[in-house]
């Protein structure tokens, strides 16, 4: 029973069906067969003694995966690729002699890994644009809503809720461009032979270099790629794994930062992730509304960021044309990195689709700090009315110190404005102060920056990929 065996939480709890199916054994071994069919077709087209009948037999059994036969053979041979060649041959007696002709194990293994990562990055691309779109709508809605800015998690000058969301979008866009670069420039290992020299294929084609080069190109085109890497050892450079998993790590870093921000703001009761009517925040404290979705994202991000060390170690310790100490590691680190980033983005879409903003709480926090931030404007207005700048500056400093003590030691509210209004030397009335104290006087160009950023940076991406938008995510748990 499965209950007595370890179940991967990435699959059981977190990632999507499409990503788990992409990296399934079924899809992996089916892709191996697609590669063998494409290789045989290309070899036939270039004149080798392979018949259409053999090709048809292979195609007929493409989906007929006799995995149990392959497992039995692998126990005897201790070789996964040979076990599947033999298992496929059991179903294709006419074609078994030409399956994997001239190829090495990396032909199916490496090319399949590249194909799966390519398809995985396209799944990620779809989810990333939906996440960006959610945050775009959020930024537009709250572009004019003043909020305290924070530096060092200490109150700083005001910004807007929408402008802060644009900071999150900016990082996601940087990741998105890197993702598109990797998608557009990824190649196959191609048909390269045992040490990458194509010697076996040169023998098959009786020394015809042009046909060997054409074989490589035809195979790539049949598998949907523009071409292959010009030079490989037995494997493609493991640096490619590092580049791709580093990209996934970068997206995870961005999501960790975003969700940390949301968690801080939820602690301040300013912004809250979705919380369902029947959801329980704590088994002991019924009143709690924990940011569990953002915490889950942060947790998975930590795993993925640390996982990016694996391909760095693998690449740096490869020997000459290849060494097999990459195999067991890559079987785990590559699929699980894709499963993890898929889960992170799925949860992220769910969170950003239902963020709740508590504007009255935000304004309350602004009012607690705004008197300090408004002092320079108040000082300038008082000087215009005939006051002495140096004397008034000292008064404001003195009142500010007094108010700070009252807030911290006595728990009083910020009464700085009251002290200023009571001091006749400032020559200011309450209506004068009220005009100065409008929070929107302190947000600079934040609303305009939101509009300009979305028009120039965000919309071009969303318009280009608009057919991918509209994704809704319902979490498993």
The alpha carbon dihedral of 174, 177, 181, 182 has a sign of: positive
Burial of 429 (0-12, 13-18, 19+ CB in 10 A): exposed
Residues 172 and 320 in one domain: yes
How far apart are alpha carbons 258 and 297 in whole angstroms? 10
What is the model's pLDDT at position 245?
97
What DSSP letter does each residue of 15-60 carry, written as one string? S-HHHHHHTSHHHHHHHHHHHHHHHHHHHHHTT-S--HHHHHHHHH
Which SS3 state, helix, strand or coil, does residue 8 take?
Answer: coil
Residues 344 and 405 in one domain: no
Q: Which two tokens stand for residue 179?
A: 């993702």
Residues 349 and 262 in one domain: yes
**In CATH, what number is assigned to the domain containing residue 410?**
1.10.40
How far apart are alpha carbons 264 and 261 in whole angstroms? 5
The terminus-to-terminus CA distance of the chain in angstroms comes to: 22
Q: Which two tokens stand for residue 101?
A: 């002709």
How far apart are alpha carbons 264 and 272 in whole angstroms? 10
Tally of domains within the chain:
2
- C-alpha separations of 119 from 27, 116, 317, 338 in Å: 12, 5, 27, 10
- C-alpha separations of 227 from 38, 116, 210, 321, 378 in Å: 14, 16, 15, 21, 67
Contact 454, 140 (CB under 8 A): yes
Residues 409 and 350 in one domain: no
Residue 51 lies in a domain: no
Among 202, 188, 281, 199, CA closest to 235? 188
Residues with catalytic roles:
152, 282
Last residue of a domain, one of 304, 325, 358: 358
- C-alpha separations of 108 from 34, 80, 324 in Å: 9, 11, 15
Residue 231 lies in a domain: no
**CA angle, 83 as apex, 77 and 88 as ends, to 5°?**
155
Which SS3 state, helix, strand or coil, does residue 417 take?
Answer: helix
Which SS3 state, helix, strand or coil, does residue 93 take?
Answer: coil
Helices 105-141 and 239-267 meet at what angle, rounded to 10?
A: 30
Last residue of a domain, one of 328, 358, 388: 358
**CA angle, 172 as apex, 300 and 161 as ends, to 5°?**
100
How far apart are alpha carbons 442 and 375 in whole angstroms? 12
Residues 330 and 398 in one domain: no
The pTM (predicted TM-score) of the whole model is 0.91
Residues 379 and 342 in one domain: no
Q: Which domain holds residue 397?
A: 375-436
Residues 247 and 339 in one domain: yes
Contact 371, 414 (CB under 8 A): yes
Distance of CA 326 to the CA centre of its chain: 25
Distance of CA 184 to the CA centre of its chain: 17
How far apart are alpha carbons 351 and 269 in whole angstroms? 16
pLDDT under 50: residue ranges of the chain: 1, 278-280, 282-283, 285-287
**331: which residues sit within 8 A by CB, 6+ positions away?**
none
Residues 115 and 257 in one domain: yes
Residues 268 and 398 in one domain: no
Longest CA–CA separation in the chain, Å: 104
Residue 49 lies in a domain: no
Residue 343 lies in a domain: yes
Residue 135 lies in a domain: yes
Q: pLDDT tens digits, residue range 14-42?
A: 899 999 999 999 999 999 999 999 999 99
Residues 350 and 381 in one domain: no
What is the model's pLDDT at position 288?
52
- C-alpha separations of 475 from 14, 113, 218 in Å: 8, 28, 42
**In CATH, what number is assigned to the domain containing residue 113?**
1.20.200.10
How far apart are alpha carbons 189 and 186 in whole angstroms? 10
Residue 463 lies in a domain: no
Residue 69 lies in a domain: no
Residues 413 and 323 in one domain: no
Residue 338 lies in a domain: yes
Residues 285 and 314 in one domain: yes
């Amino acid at each position: 029973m499965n209950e007595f065996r370890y179940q991967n939480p990435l699959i059981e709890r977190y990632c999507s069906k499409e990503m788990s199916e992409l990296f399934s054994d079924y899809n992996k071994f089916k892709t191996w067969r697609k590669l063998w069919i494409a290789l045989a077709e290309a070899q036939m087209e270039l004149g080798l003694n392979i018949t259409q009948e053999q090709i048809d037999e292979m195609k007929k059994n493409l989906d007929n995966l006799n995995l149990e036969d392959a497992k039995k053979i692998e126990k005897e041979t201790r070789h996964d690729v040979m076990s599947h060649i033999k298992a496929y041959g059991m179903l294709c007696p006419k074609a078994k002699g030409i399956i994997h002709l001239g190829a090495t194990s990396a032909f199916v293994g490496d090319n399949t890994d590249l194909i799966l990562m390519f398809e995985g990055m396209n799944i990620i691309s779809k989810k990333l644009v939906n996440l960006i779109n959610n945050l775009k709508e959020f930024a537009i809605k709250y572009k004019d809503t003043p909020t305290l800015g924070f530096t060092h998690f200490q109150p700083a000058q005001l910004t807007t809720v929408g402008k802060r969301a644009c900071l999150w979008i900016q990082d996601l866009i940087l990741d998105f461009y890197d993702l598109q670069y990797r998608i557009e420039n990824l190649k196959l290992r191609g048909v390269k032979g045992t040490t990458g020299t194509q010697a076996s294929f040169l023998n098959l084609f009786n020394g015809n270099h042009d046909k060997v080069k054409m074989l490589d190109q035809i195979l790539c085109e049949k598998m949907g790629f523009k071409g292959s890497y010009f030079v490989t050892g037995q494997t493609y450079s493991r640096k490619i794994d590092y580049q791709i998993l580093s990209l996934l790590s970068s997206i995870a870093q961005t999501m960790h930062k975003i969700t940390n921000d949301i968690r801080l703001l939820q602690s301040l009761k300013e912004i809250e992730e979705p919380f369902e009517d029947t959801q329980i925040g704590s088994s002991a404290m019924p009143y709690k509304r924990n940011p569990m979705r953002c915490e889950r994202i942060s947790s998975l991000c930590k795993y993925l960021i640390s996982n990016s060390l694996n391909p760095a170690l693998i690449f740096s310790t490869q020997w000459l044309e290849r060494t097999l100490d990459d195999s067991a590691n890559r079987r785990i680190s590559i699929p699980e990195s894709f499963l993890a980033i898929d889960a992170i983005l799925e949860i992220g879409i769910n969170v950003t689709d239902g963020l709740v903003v508590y504007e009255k709480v935000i304004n309350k926090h602004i009012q607690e700090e705004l008197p300090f931030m408004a002092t320079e404007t108040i000082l300038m207005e008082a000087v215009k009315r005939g006051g002495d700048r140096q004397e008034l500056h000292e008064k404001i400093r003195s009142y500010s110190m007094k108010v700070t003590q009252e807030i911290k030691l006595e728990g009083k509210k910020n009464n700085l404005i009251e002290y200023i209004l009571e001091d006749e030397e400032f020559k200011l009335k309450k209506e004068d102060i009220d005009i100065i104290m409008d929070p929107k006087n302190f947000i600079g160009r934040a609303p305009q920056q939101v509009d300009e950023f979305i028009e120039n940076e965000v919309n071009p991406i969303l318009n280009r990929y608009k057919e991918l938008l509209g994704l809704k995510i319902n979490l498993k748990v």
